[in-house]
């Protein structure tokens, strides 16, 4: 059975705005639903473990409600405690919180590196690609160097009014890491597949990212 791991941020503070953030619920719930429908065994992980903070919750969305009720979100293992060797897929769900704790977490990097180097799929959506900006292989090369990727665009960040709040602009940082950031119009579904790397631009792309992963790893 294919095993997938969905990674969630543990960061809850939106800079110094006094506002809360976390992982964007739909960006975890929709891939979770797609993966389970494909017969995957799906686990969750977060940077700090326990119950990670949420953002973007739609209380009327059945997929989100099912995910929150049954996926194990109240007691996730922390990345440091996860053995990556059993996983075929890792998907980094987005949410602005990821911008603070995904890029430099050594254990998320360890898991993703292991999955990729064993022939698995690394996927990320919206701000989730922040996990990829510093990700290197065992040989020290950047995983996304020379790759085409999607991720939350500078225009989208401006549209939500957080350009000066986030610690960096994701599209710029992806490009600095050697990737070719491929944007689409704001808040439209957009997925880029480059080998075993699958990335999506925004919350509207979460389900399509998961569909693309299943196509690569049926």
Residues acting as catalytic residues: 126-127, 157
Asked whether 116 and 196 are in contact (CB, 8 A), the reply is: yes
**Rounded Cα distance, 83 and 176, in Å:** 30
Tokens of 117: 């180097």
CB 133 within 8 A of CB 32: no
User: How far apart, in whole angstroms, are the C-alpha atoms of residue 190 and residue 52?
Assistant: 26
Cβ-based neighbours of 90, under 8 Å, separated by 6 or more: 4, 5, 6, 7, 84, 111, 112, 115, 120, 121, 122, 123
Q: E strands of 109-150, at which residues?
A: 121-125, 148-149
């Amino acid at each position: 059975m294919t095993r997938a791991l969905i990674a969630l941020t543990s960061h809850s503070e939106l800079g110094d705005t006094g506002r809360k953030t976390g992982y964007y619920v739909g960006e975890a719930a929709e891939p979770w639903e797609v993966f389970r429908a494909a017969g995957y065994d799906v686990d969750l992980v977060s940077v700090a473990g326990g119950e990670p903070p949420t953002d973007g919750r739609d209380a009327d969305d059945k997929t989100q409600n099912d995910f929150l009720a049954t996926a194990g979100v109240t007691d996730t293992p922390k990345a440091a405690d996860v053995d990556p060797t059993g996983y075929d897929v890792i998907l980094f769900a987005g949410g602005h919180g990821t911008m603070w704790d995904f890029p430099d977490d050594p254990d998320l990097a360890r898991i993703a590196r292991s999955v990729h180097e064993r022939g698995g799929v690394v996927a990320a959506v919206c701000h989730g690609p922040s996990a990829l900006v510093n990700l290197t292989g065992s040989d020290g090369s950047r995983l996304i160097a020379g790759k085409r990727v999607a991720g939350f665009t500078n225009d989208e960040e401006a549209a939500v009014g957080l350009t000066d709040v986030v610690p960096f602009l994701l599209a710029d940082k992806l490009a600095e890491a050697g990737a070719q950031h491929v944007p689409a119009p704001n808040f439209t579904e957009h997925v880029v597949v480059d080998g075993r790397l699958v990335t999506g631009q925004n919350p509207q792309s979460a389900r399509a990212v998961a569909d693309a992963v299943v196509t690569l790893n049926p």
